[in-house]
């Protein structure tokens, strides 16, 4: 999933939680909080994957020069 889309989803869920928290039951609040945490973790993993891909590209470029 694209990192930009993940950030938008996180913002969407966080904004909804902030706006409607007083109208939500505790279990709904918990579910939204866990959704935000999961999306943040997924974003972190996506950043790590992108970084790893860049490292692989750099390593291939170095090896091709030889």
Q: What distance in Å separates the CA atoms of residue 18 and residue 36, rounded to the nearest whole number? A: 12
The pLDDT tens digits for 11-66 are: 999 999 999 999 999 999 999 999 999 999 999 999 999 999 999 999 999 999 97
Determine the pLDDT at residue 17.
Answer: 96
> What span, in angstroms and rounded, lies between the C-alpha atoms of 47 and 51?
6
pTM above 0.95, yes or no: no
Q: Which of 32, 34, 45, 33 is nearest to 6 (CA)?
A: 45
> Under a CB-based contact definition with an 8 Å cutoff, are residues 41 and 3 in contact?
no
The pLDDT confidence band at residue 1, using thresholds 50, 70 and 90, is confident
Q: Residue 63 is encoded by which pair of tokens? A: 């090896």
Closest to 32 (Cα-Cα) out of 23, 60, 3, 64:
23
């Amino acid at each position: 999933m694209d990192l930009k889309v993940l950030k938008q989803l996180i913002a969407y869920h966080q904004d909804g939680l902030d706006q409607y928290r007083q109208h939500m039951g505790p279990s709904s609040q918990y579910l939204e909080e866990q959704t935000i945490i999961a999306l943040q973790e997924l974003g972190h993993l996506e950043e790590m994957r992108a970084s790893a891909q860049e490292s692989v590209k750099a390593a291939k470029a170095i090896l091709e020069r030889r």
